Amino acid sequence: MKLVILDRDGVINVDSDKFIKSPAEWRPIPGSLEAIARLNHMGYRVVIASNQSGIGRGLFDMDALNAINDKMYRALSHVGGRVDALFYCPHAAESNCDCRKPKSGMLADIGQRFNVDLADVPAVGDSLRDLQAAHAVGAQPMLVLTGKGKRTQAAGDLPENTLVFSDLAEAVRHIIAGS
């Protein structure tokens, strides 16, 4: 099975330091939805792995998160794309759970649920914790310079073998070229 793991905020949609708390705040990054559709058309399963600590912080609830994701699913369907599964961690950082990236629990769960060894599976994110979680399970960390990506790159200390791309569309071109 061909699988790609994506972070949501900052990779697929415009991110905000104040969190994406409503469907009105969710806006796709230009080219990201079409990039996901290209993956789908090339036979890839696309899974989102996203920290959503705004729930644990009380900034929004599950109804709001579901409405945001529904908006994303509808926008994807308009360009012929889909997400095969969405995994998220609702906990605040201080909860010390195993599912919150940079810990690898959420990605390990994806591997288990899809019955896939995550070795070299592309895992695209815009923050160091996305890349660290990918590296911890043997996936291929890919940094995009959208969202927090430029700050992440400037801070350095990226996991070994991290690939860097301007955006999701460029990362997807690389993934497809290698398949």
pLDDT for 107? 98
For residues 164 and 145, the answer to whether their CB atoms sit within 8 Å is yes
pTM of the model: 0.97
Sheet holding 163-165, edge to edge: 85-89, 44-51, 2-6, 122-125, 140-144, 163-165
The upper half-sphere exposure of residue 162, i.e. CA atoms within 13 Å in the direction of its Cβ, equals: 27
Q: How far is the C-alpha of 135 from the C-alpha of 142, rounded, in Å?
A: 10
| pLDDT tens for the chain, residues 1 to 179 | 999 999 999 999 999 999 999 999 999 999 999 999 999 999 999 999 999 999 999 999 999 999 999 999 999 999 999 999 999 999 998 888 999 999 999 999 999 999 999 999 999 999 999 999 999 999 999 999 999 999 999 999 999 999 999 999 999 999 999 87
The answer to whether the Cα torsion of 52, 19, 102, 94 is positive or negative is negative
Alpha-carbon gap, residue 105 to 112, rounded angstroms: 10
Residues 6+ apart with CB under 8 A from 39: 4, 46, 81, 172, 175, 176
pLDDT at 94: 87
DSSP state of 134: H
pLDDT, one tens digit per residue, over 136-151 is 999 999 999 999 999 9
Residue 88 CA, distance from chain mean position: 10
| Residues with catalytic function | 7, 9
pLDDT score for 128:
98
Q: Given the DSSP bridges, would you call strands 44-51 and 122-125 parallel, antiparallel or unpaired?
A: unpaired
Nearest to 45 by CA among 106, 107, 114: 114
Give the fold, CATH level 3, of 2-177: Rossmann fold (3.40.50)
CA 115 to chain CA mean position, Å: 19
